[in-house]
Chains A and B, each alone.
Chain A
Amino acid sequence: MSTIHSAAQPTTPIGKTADYLDQRTKVGVLTKQLVRKVFPDHWSFMLGEIALWSFVVLILSGFFLTMFFEPSMALTHYHGEGPASMQGQLMSVAFASTVDMSFEVRGGLLMRQIHHWSALVFMAGIVVHMMRVFFTGAFRKPRELNYLVGVTMMILGLGAGFTGYSLPDDVLSGNGLRITDGVVKSIPIIGSYMSYFIFGGEFPGEHIIPRLFTLHILVIPALLLALIGLHLFLMVLNKHTQYPGGGRTDRNVVGYPAVPAFATKMGGNFFIVFGVLALMGGTMAINNVWNYGPFDPSPVSAGAQPDWYMLFLEGSLRLMPGQGTEWVIGGYTLSLNVLIPAVVVPGLLFTFLFVYPFLEAKVTGDHREHHVLDRPRNVPVRTGLGVAFLAAFVILALAGSNDLIATHFALSINTITWVFRVLIFVGPVFAFWITKRICLGLQRKDRELVLHGHETGRIVRFANGEYIEVHRPLDEHDRWLRVNYEAHKPLEIAPAMDARGVRRKGYMVDRQWQRVSRFFFEDRVEPVTPAELAAAHAHGGHDELEAERGTPELVSGSGNVEREH
């Protein structure tokens, strides 16, 4: 395309169109960058695509649904093709249109179910993508900003899910809104007014469904689209990270050009994701709102839970003991039994996600750019913290399902609650400790492998009667994978007194940071250095390669084989 001016006039229709566009936009320059842009290939790099493509499916199916959904809280008596149990019931138009689009609009039920399954998979895709990014350290410079964009999108995703879940105006989601109202009211000073702000009066009023509708189909998707654009733009700008391996450095990117293989795989993945979601929508029922019935403030059904991504909040509310946690101060009520689980706990979890990259940059004192990913084992404390975070999330989600655990495993709900009350403190700590141990163990194993090679299971007897097992050394790529990392050391700080014996300002702060840094890097396993490897070889005798080739059975005890020590 860069030859359009110099070359002869294009003759094909595509060429003519390209010429037309490029003469007006210089689009050739941009496309040149993209067409041959190199993307590293790994299955875990496609986890973000899961989220992206399910979002596209959400938009496609969501568009279908908006054609038939009426976000109105006006009341009507239902008479339609829906189930017999709905006939004649008083319900909002929003609920009636949801039933109609499921039973009267052919394919409507399929689209509803695809939409809801996509929402669940969208959030799950975000979570697994975040896990990949976190555990491999992909959030390090220069990608901290893109990481923040990602975390923000995760929170927007929660908002999109919550607002959509509430739209059909059924009993289940109505009780969810009621819980939201209860949580909002617990906010000190402004709580009651916030409740009025959201509902346009007292709960539930007549405004909430149209308001949620606007948020759900306009505000949140618009923000998400903008942020997805930014996310992908920054991804292309920074070029994708790559896993460590031979030839992969912080100054290059090794992979396949966007066109054709990479783009074809990416496009194919969209159809696969959509296909799986269609299969789910066609075979597995989800959120059959006519089971729950139209919203009525009196009923509630057993198994009253939010969608899975909000379960952690539900669990946190269930675990909090109520006794002694509601304080009256000067006549004003402070509901810590609601504020702590519903505001403080998610606040802590999200804050951890938002600040972690900056925390890690601070304790490593590392301001270089990183484009080669970490193997999770090589950063034991980070990996441990990530697993601890997930453990907390999972424990809270399980606590939010405690009634179903009780019925399915014939346990007492009270006992389960108590177990989770303890586990939420002990579990993450234990998860951290055990993960860190496993990481350090794997690193030691790596060292062992690099130094002594693989056990071959071949036992050799020497002339002097000594038995040894032959070890096969790693090839250079396997070795490189295991030695190519950096074991950060705890921060070193300037002494408390400067040269003239004057107390240095900021020393105390530095010392705190040093403590944190010690927590991160006190236990570490250094990669094998060439000198160590050489020493190991010297210790083990001659090199192993010859042992493979030679006839060790015949040589003497100090022969050319690595010894089992």
Chain B
Amino acid sequence: MKALAARRHHRAAPVVLLLLALLVTGGVYAVLAPSPATADTASTADIETGKKLFQANCATCHGPNAEGTSQAPSLVGVGAAAVDFQVSTGRMPMQMNGPQAQQKPRQMDEEQTAALAAYVASLGPGPAIPTDEQVDPALGDSSNGALLFRTNCAMCHNAVGAGGALSEGKWAPALWDVSERNIYQAMVTGPQSMPVFNDANITPEEKRDIIAFLVEQREGSAGGMALGALGPVSEGLWAWVVGIGLIIGAAVWIGAKSS
């Protein structure tokens, strides 16, 4: 302690202190901050591979440097999350023009997707791919999730995520089979028609609550077959087909003469 006390008036002391403070802050941040997995571990080699993949598969529409063309938006600043969402759900690369990009079998494996994501993330800061903890439904509060989902999401995706129609042939997809990671990414990046729900609007914890609510819905309905969870129209259809169908069938049997 004496030595330290003696040297605190050293000329270099402020610099050393500053360096120490920076080191501590950085360390704490590294421990506490949500670790954007891909971005963190992305090596220059990944970015290079990603760039090649980009130029081969995406540049036709998004431009050679992802700056965007008249056909497709710029990808500068969309972040790794957007790439991972679009590519891992098979929406990108797009195969044909339509009202909106469709979900289809993915065309790039996980490594390729990660490389592509690393490349796009290197073009400008954007939302990172969430960690497993950020999307773990077991850690979420489904009741709060229900509240948030109802206000922010249900008008397009239906009350329990069965999907719904938008204008001009577009639609909000059903969320039954969407992975937790993709749900999170869709919220932060706002793919296609979907608006962006950034962390100020719906905090990361709240996003996890929403995921918890959606995962809970996958248990189905307590009342029996959920009939698509589409509401009164499908219920009415079943009332006619099954209910009235069976009962009129019985009436025909009652009215028929016994042989």
Contacts and interface: CB of A to CB of B under 8 A. Distances in A.
Q: A and B touching (C-beta < 8 Å)?
A: yes
Interface of A: 41-47, 49-50, 83-89, 102-103, 109, 113, 116-117, 120-121, 124-125, 128, 171-172, 265, 268-269, 272-273, 276-277, 280, 282-288, 291-293, 296, 298-309, 311, 400-404, 406-407, 410-415
B151 A298 contact: yes
Given A47-B251, A89-B146, A287-B235, A103 B222 contact: yes
A73 B145 CA distance: 24
Contacts of A87: 143
Contacts of B236: 120, 307-309, 311
A121 B158 contact: no
Interface in B218-259: 221-227, 229-240, 242-244, 246-248, 250-256
B252 A43 contact: yes
Contacts of B158: 301-303
B222 A288 contact: yes
B157 interface: yes
A296 B165 CA distance: 22
Contacts, number: 210
A303 B233 contact: yes
Nearest to B220: A285
Nearest to A124: B244
A302 B164 contact: yes
B98 to A, nearest CB: 9
B239 A121 contact: yes
B105 interface: no
Contacts of A309: 236
Majority SS of interface residues in chain B? Answer: helix
B157 A302 contact: yes
B176 to A, nearest CB: 14
Contacts of A282: 224
Looking at chain B, what size class is its interface with the partner chain? 35 or more
Contacts of A305: 231-233
Interface string B42-70: 00000000000000000000000000000
A19 B163 CA distance: 67
B76 interface: no
Contacts of A306: 232
Given A117-B239, A120-B239, A84 B216 contact: yes
Given A172-B159, A286-B235, A412-B99, A303 B230 contact: yes
**Complex A-B, nearest 3 residue pairs according to Cβ-Cβ distance, in ascending order:** A302-B164, A308-B236, A43-B255
Interface stretch (B12-20, B167-175, B187-195): B167-175
B178 to A, nearest CB: 16
A120 B213 CA distance: 30
A109 B143 CA distance: 21
B169 A272 contact: no
B78 interface: no
B186 to A, nearest CB: 16
A269 B243 contact: no
19 contacts: A86-B143, A87-B143, A89-B147, A125-B244, A273-B247, A276-B247, A280-B239, A283-B224, A286-B235, A292-B159, A293-B150, A299-B154, A300-B154, A301-B158, A308-B236, A403-B165, A407-B163, A407-B171, A414-B168
A307 B227 CA distance: 15
A403 B232 CA distance: 13
B155 interface: yes
Contacts of A308: 232-233, 235-237, 239-240
